[in-house]
Structure 1
Amino acid sequence: MDSKNYIDSGILELYVYGALSEKESMEVSQALQQHPEIRAEVEAIERSLTQLSTAAAPYQPDQVYQQIKTKLNFKDQEVAMIPITRKRTNWPAYIGWAASVALLIGLFIQFDKNKELRQEVVQSQIEKNLLEGKIQVAEEDLTKTKTILSVLRNKDVIEVPLQAQQVAPEAYAAVYWDKESQTAYIDVAGLPTPPPGKVYQVWSLKLDPLTPTSLGTLDSFNEEATKVFALNNANESEAFGITLEPEGGSESPTMEQLYTLGVVNS
C-alpha cells in the first residue's frame, strides 16, 4: 500500500467522522495496525477535531461532508454510489456538555467556599460585637461602681436606713440622698425578687400631714446587678418608703405592701 496516496485519498477523514461502511471501516482499522504513519495521521485528524470542538465551532456534518467531497473531487453521482452509513458522532455537543458539567461543578465548589467564608465573616462579626458589648457593659459597671463608691464616701450625702415592715420582716434597704445634685441612690439588695406583674416603687414622704410623692419604679430590678438605682429627688423629704405595686406603679402607695420605711435624721 502507498501510505501517502492512502492518506491523500480522504478516506481517513471519513473514518474519523464515522462516514464509512462497516467493511471500509474494517479495512482502515487493518491499515492503522499495519502502518504507523496512517495511524499518526488519524490521531492528527482527531486532535484537529478536538481543537475545533474546543473552539465551540458549531457541528455541521453536512458542510464537513461537502468539504470532503470537494477534496476528493467526487461528483454527487459518484458519492451516491458509495454505500455509506453515516454515524453521527456529535463531538462538539459531547465536549460542550462535559465543559458545562465541569463549569457547574466548579461554580458549586466556589459557591460552597464563598458560603463558608461568609459564615466565618458573620461569625467573626458576631463574636466581635459580643466582645465589644461585654467590654461596654464592663466599662458601664465600672463607672457605676465608681459613682456608688464616691456617693458612699461623700460626707455630705445623707444615709437613710430603711427598716423592714410587717409584710417582709427580713427585708432591708437604704437611701443615699445627695441634696446638692438632688439625687437619691436607692440600695435594694435586701429586698426579695418581686413576683411577676409586680414592681417596687420608691416614695418620698412628708410626715405631717403624711404626703407621699413617687420617685419612680424599679423596673429593672432583676437585671441590675448592683441593685442600686439613682432617682431624682427634688423634694424636702422627711422619710422614704418602698412598696410593692402593680407594673407601671400606683398614684399612691399601697400601705399593705409597704416593705421598708426609714426617717431622715435631722
Structure 2
Amino acid sequence: MKDIKAYIESGILELYVLGDVSAEEKLQVQEMVSKHPEVKAELDAIETSLENYAAANAVDPSEKVRDRVLNSMLINLGDDRIFPGQTTREKDNVAALPARPSNFYKYAFAACLALLLVSIAVLVGMYDSLQESKMRLVALQLDNQQFSKRVNLMDLQLGVFRDSTFRFIKLKGTPKTPASVMTIAWSSVKRKVMIDMADLKLPENDKNHQYQLWAIVNGKPVDLGVFDAASARADTADMKEMKPVAAPQAFAVTLEKRGGSANPTMEEMVVISNI
C-alpha cells in the first residue's frame, strides 16, 4: 500500500492525463490502473478535476487567431460562379423550364461554414485553455517539489539543533583569511559531522577549486569531504552532512583543486579550530 501511495504521489498520473508521458510510461499507468482500484480512482479524480478546471477557465480565442481562421476559410470559398444563377436549358427539342433561384444552396453552405467556424473557434479556445492549464500544473508541481525540499532541509536542521549529542564548533579564520568563519555540528555518539551552510562565511571558490574539510585525528589529517562556498547562498536552510569521524582533536578547512586532495595544502588553510 505504501508503494501504491508513492506511485500516486509521484505525479505520473497527472502527466498521463496531460499526455506528457512516453509510450512505456503510458503502458505502465494503464497496467497500474487495471490492477489497483485506488490508482484508477485517483486517475478518474484527476481527469474530472482537469475537465472542471478547463470548463471554468475557458477563454475565447484571440481576435488575431479568429481573423486568421476566417480569412483562411473565406479564401477557399471561390466566387459566386460556382452557384449558377439559373439552370441550363436543353436545346434538343426540350421545352425550356423556368429558372429556379439557387439562393437556398448559398444560404445552406453559409450556415454550414458558420457552424464550422464556430466549432473551430471553440476548439482553439479549448486548446489554449488546456495548454495554459498544463503549464500551471507543471509550475505547481515544481513549486511543490521545491517546497518539500525546503521543508526537509529545515527538518534536518531543526533535528540537529534539538539533538543533545551534537556539539557546535566555530572555526575561525587563519592569517590568510582572517574574516572567514564557519560552524560545524559534530556528534561524538553518532559520529556525524554537519556544516551549517547558513553560517558559512568563506571567500567564494571558483569552478576549478573546492573547500575540503579535515579532521585531525591522532595528529594526522583525515578527509571529511569537499563543499562549495557558493552553495551557501543558494539555500540558507541547508545543513550539509560530511563524512563521519569518531574522535577528532581539531577541524580545519583548506582550498583544494575540485574533487579534493589526499593531503591538505597547509598554505591554503582558511579556518581551523581545536575541540
- Fold shared, TM-score > 0.5 on shorter chain: yes
In structure 2, the residue matched to 1:172 is: 181
In structure 2, the residue matched to 1:128 is: 140
- SS at 1:173 equivalent: strand
Distance 1:190 1:139, change over 3 A: closer
In structure 2, the residue matched to 1:103 is: 115
- Would you say 1:239 and 2:250 are equivalent positions? yes
- Would you say 1:256 and 2:232 are equivalent positions? no
Measure how far apart 1:237 and its partner are. 1.8
Alignment of 1:51-130 (within 5 A): 77=93, 79-80=94-95, 84=96, 90-91=102-103, 94-95=106-107, 97-130=109-142
Sequence identity of aligned pairs in percent? 20
Distance 1:227 1:133, change over 3 A: closer
Contact 1:164/1:171, CA 8 A, preserved across alignment: yes
In structure 1, the residue matched to 2:204 is: 194
Structure of higher CA gyration radius? 1
Measure how far apart 1:178 and its partner are. 0.7
Distance 1:246 1:259, change over 3 A: same
In structure 2, the residue matched to 1:203 is: 214
Measure how far apart 1:171 and its partner are. 1.1
The one of 236, 239, 257 equivalent to 1:228 is 239
Distance 1:157 1:109, change over 3 A: closer
Unaligned stretches of 5+ residues in structure 1: 1-60, 67-75
Contact 2:166/2:187, CA 8 A, preserved across alignment: yes
- SS at 2:233 equivalent: coil
Distance 2:102 2:203 in 1: 82
Distance 1:135 1:143, change over 3 A: same
Which letter maps to 1:160?
A: I
Deviation beyond 4 Å, 4+ runs, structure 1: 84-93
Describe the superposition over 1:67-98 as per-residue Cα deviations: whole angstroms up to 9, x where unpaired: xxxxxxxxx74x45xxx597686556534532
Which letter maps to 1:195?
A: N
Contact 2:188/2:246, CA 8 A, preserved across alignment: no
Measure how far apart 1:121 and its partner are. 1.8
Distance 1:168 1:180, change over 3 A: same
Distance 1:253 1:96 in 2: 88
Query: Over aligned residue pairs, what C-alpha RMSD do you find?
Result: 3.4
Distance 1:124 1:93, change over 3 A: same
In structure 1, the residue matched to 2:28 is: none
Distance 1:158 1:110, change over 3 A: closer
Unaligned stretches of 5+ residues in structure 2: 1-86
Distance 1:237 1:206 in 2: 5
Which letter maps to 1:223?
A: A
Contact 1:193/1:222, CA 8 A, preserved across alignment: no
Contact 2:172/2:181, CA 8 A, preserved across alignment: yes
Distance 2:152 2:166 in 1: 23
Measure how far apart 1:131 and its partner are. 4.3
Which letter maps to 2:115?
A: L
- Would you say 1:163 and 2:175 are equivalent positions? no
Describe the superposition over 1:19-51 as per-residue Cα deviations: whole angstroms up to 9, x where unpaired: xxxxxxxxxxxxxxxxxxxxxxxxxxxxxxxxx
